[in-house]
Amino acid sequence: MIAIRDYSPQWPGEFEEIRARLRDVLGPLALRVDHIGSTSVPGLGAKDVIDVQITVAALAAGVRERLVAAGYEHCAAVSHDHVPDGEDPDLALWSKLLFNEPKGQRRANIHVRMDGNPNQRYPLLFRDYLRAHPNSARSIERIKRELAKHHADDVGAYYDIKDPVYDLIWDAAKEWAERTGWTA
């Protein structure tokens, strides 16, 4: 069931605990470990799930094996991200590995993406754009709350609507990044 809750000031600290565990598991295979998604935007209501992005040089190279050995659940059915309209549709550019937390740990989605791919840049730019544009963040929250109200038990419908809405922000965020010189 999808439920949007008010922002929790505990989310950044919970992310830091997750980041430390992931760094221990992956060592130098993890080029970056970033807090992404709505829980990474101060003041933004979200599902109570910490989203984490691990940036790697390659999706192979033992990353999956190390995470599985550490108890992370690999979500093999998810192998790439939604491709926003107007972006290069080559699925290799949008490929990823997705994991959930080990049993008994804080609920988290762990996204593993390749350095330099557009899907690696997307969540970082999206996060930073919403941090810099609180009115857009509030609009996103309102949309997510309405979607959860009407589609709480239909995850497919929730994302079928949410993804194109986020694509609108993606276009604005790319323009903002170019104008401001933003880098991840």
Q: Which domains does the chain have, with CATH numbers?
A: 11-177 (3.30.460.10)
* Of 56, 54, 29, 52, the residue nearest 115 (C-alpha): 56
Note whether 41 and 130 are within 8 A (CB).
yes
Backbone angles phi, psi at 80, to 5 degrees: -160, 165
Region class of 30: left (phi > 0), else alpha (psi between -120 and 50), else beta: beta
- The structure tokens 């999956």 sit at 64
pLDDT in the model for residue 61: 66
> Global pTM?
0.95
Could you report the average pLDDT of every consecutive run of 10 residues in the chain (184 residues)? 95 98 97 97 97 94 93 96 94 97 97 97 97 96 94 89 90 96 93
Hey, is 16 helix, strand or coil? helix
Beta bridge partners of 33: 54
Beta bridge partners of 183: none
Rounded distance between C-alpha atoms, residue 65 and residue 43, angstroms = 36
